Amino acid sequence: MNTGPVGVAVVGAGVISAEYLRTLGTFPDIRLVAVADIAPERAAAAARTHGIPLAGDLPTVLDEPDVELIVNLTVPAAHAQVAAAALRAGKHVYGEKPLTTAPADAEKLLAEASERGLLLGGAPDTFLGAGLQSALRAVRAGHIGAPVAATTAVQSLGPEAWHPDPAFFYQPGAGPLFDLGPYYLTALVALFGAVERVAATAARAKARRTVGSGPMAGQSFPVDVPTHVCALLDFASGASANSTFSFDSAHPRIRFEITGTEGTLAVPDPNTFRGPLRVRANGADEWRDLPVRGRTDGRGLGVLDMARAIRAHDGPRDGGAPGAHRASGALALHVLQTMTAITRSADRGEFTRLPAQVVPPTPLPDGWDPTAATLGAA
C-alpha cells in the first residue's frame, strides 16, 4: 500500500496548466512527477519551469510507476480518450471540465473506475474555496431563511480577445454553457442539491469569430455552438434558478444571488475561490458583509482532496459520503447531464428531466488546510 505524497502527472500543458502546476506544487501531500502534451517541447518547457523530473507524451507518463493520479487538462474533445487510457493504466483521474463532452462517455468512465477500484473526479473545484464554502455555511446557518431561488449570470464578448488560440471555446463541449456553466451549476448543486428538470433557449450571434491577440491574431474560425443560453432549473429540493451564459454581451457581468424566505445572499463569483459575501435581510436598506473563512489557494484543491481520499480509500466510493473526495465524478456527471439537458431543452422547446440524481458534496471541515502534510513521509 502506497504512503506519503501522491504522485501526480499533468496531461495537457496549455494555458490553464500553469495555474494548476503552480498551486499543486505548494501542497506537501502531492508530488509532481510528470508533464505530458501532444507537443513534447511544451511539456518539456512546463517541466523545466516547475522543476518536474519527467516530460513526454501520454504513453510515457502512463508507464511511469510513480504516477498515481492523472490531472487531465487536455481540450474537451480529448477528455474521454485520455481519461480512459489513464484508467486502463491503473491511474486515478481528475479532469478539467467538462468531464467529457457526452454523458454516455462519462458514465462509462465512472463504471470503469468503479470496476478497477480507482477514483474519478473533475473540475471545477472553485466551490471548495473560502468564498463558496462560506456561502454554503451562511445558507445552512439560516442567514436568509429557507432557500427559495437563485439568479445567476455570466456575460462577456467571449475569450477571443485575450486567448491566443480560442477556437476550441466554440466547438462542441465548450461555448459559454459548457465552458462557464460548470462553475455556476456546480455551486448551485452544492447549495441546493440535485437538478430535477430544466427549460432553456439558446442562440448564436455569429457564424465565425476572429482571434484578437497572439500569433494567430486576425485569423477567423467557425462557431459551432450556441453563444447565448438562458436556462430555468428546478431542483429536487424545491428551489429554482434562472441562469444566463453568454459570449455575446458588450456589458460584462457576473451575478449570483440566492433568495430565501428571510433575505438575499450575494454569492462570490463561482469562477474564483474568494469573496466577497454579502447578505441583505428582508426590509433592510443596505447589504451587510459576512465573514469569508477558509483557504483560497487556487485550482487544484479538488486534486488535493482527491489525493487525500486515495490514501484513505478502501474501495470505490464516488459522491457525497463522508471521507469521499468532493469534486467527484458523480458530481461532474450530474453537471454534464444538466448542461446536456439544457441544450436538449433549447433544441426542443420543452422542459427536460434529468435521468438521475446526485448527493451534493459534504462541506469541508473547519480547519481544512491544503498546506498541512497529512499523508506522512514518502
Per-residue pLDDT of the chain (378 residues; tens, 9 = 90+): 678 999 999 999 999 999 999 999 999 999 999 999 999 999 999 999 999 999 999 999 999 999 999 999 999 999 999 999 999 999 999 999 999 999 999 999 999 999 999 999 999 999 999 999 999 999 999 999 999 999 999 999 999 989 999 999 999 888 999 999 999 999 999 999 999 999 999 999 999 999 999 899 999 999 999 999 999 999 999 999 999 999 999 999 999 999 999 999 999 999 999 999 999 999 999 999 999 998 888 999 999 999 999 998 644 444 444 348 999 999 999 999 999 999 999 999 999 999 878 999 999 988 899 999 998 755
In the prediction, which pLDDT does 1 show?
Answer: 62
What distance in Å separates the CA atoms of residue 99 and residue 158, rounded to the nearest whole number? Answer: 22
In the prediction, which pLDDT does 312 show?
Answer: 87
Neighbours of 108 (CB within 10 A): 16
Q: Say if residues 50 and 43 touch (Cβ distance below 8 Å).
A: no
Global pTM?
Answer: 0.93
**CATH value at residue 239:** 3.30.360.10
183 plus 249 within the same structural domain = yes
In the prediction, which pLDDT does 318 show?
Answer: 46
Q: Say if residues 112 and 104 touch (Cβ distance below 8 Å).
A: no
Q: Say if residues 2 and 67 touch (Cβ distance below 8 Å).
A: no
215 plus 116 within the same structural domain = no
In the prediction, which pLDDT does 357 show?
Answer: 83
241 plus 305 within the same structural domain = no
In the prediction, which pLDDT does 375 show?
Answer: 87
Q: Say if residues 31 and 5 touch (Cβ distance below 8 Å).
A: yes
271 plus 135 within the same structural domain = yes
Per the DSSP assignment, residues forming a β-bridge with 353 are: 197
**Cβ density class 111-127: b for 16+ within 10 Å, e for less:** ebbbebebbbbbbbbbb
122 plus 245 within the same structural domain = no
In the prediction, which pLDDT does 295 show?
Answer: 84
Point out the domain boundary residue: 289, 317, 345: 289
**Cβ density class 266-288: b for 16+ within 10 Å, e for less:** bbbbbebbbbebbbbbeeeeeee
**CATH value at residue 51:** 3.40.50.720
88 plus 172 within the same structural domain = no
| Domain membership flag for residue 371 | no
16 plus 98 within the same structural domain = yes
- Closest by CA to 327, choosing from 311, 303, 358, 350, is 303
Q: If you average pLDDT over every residue of the chain, what do you get?
A: 94
Point out the domain boundary residue: 262, 289, 316: 289
How many structural domains compose the chain? 2
104 plus 182 within the same structural domain = no
Q: Say if residues 73 and 14 touch (Cβ distance below 8 Å).
A: yes
Neighbours of 378 (CB within 10 A): 11
- The DSSP secondary structure of 245-312, one letter per residue, reads EES--SS-EEEEEEEESSEEEEPPPTTSS----EEEETT-SS-EE----S----TTHHHHHHHHHHHH
What distance in Å separates the CA atoms of residue 265 and residue 138, rounded to the nearest whole number? Answer: 8
| Domain membership flag for residue 235 | yes
Domain encompassing residue 242: 130-289
263 plus 138 within the same structural domain = yes
115 plus 259 within the same structural domain = no
What is the share, in percent, of the chain residues with pLDDT greater than 70? 96
In the prediction, which pLDDT does 316 show?
Answer: 42
What distance in Å separates the CA atoms of residue 224 and residue 228, rounded to the nearest whole number? Answer: 12
In the prediction, which pLDDT does 320 show?
Answer: 42
- Closest by CA to 47, choosing from 75, 23, 16, 21, is 21
35 plus 149 within the same structural domain = no
What distance in Å separates the CA atoms of residue 230 and residue 115, rounded to the nearest whole number? Answer: 38
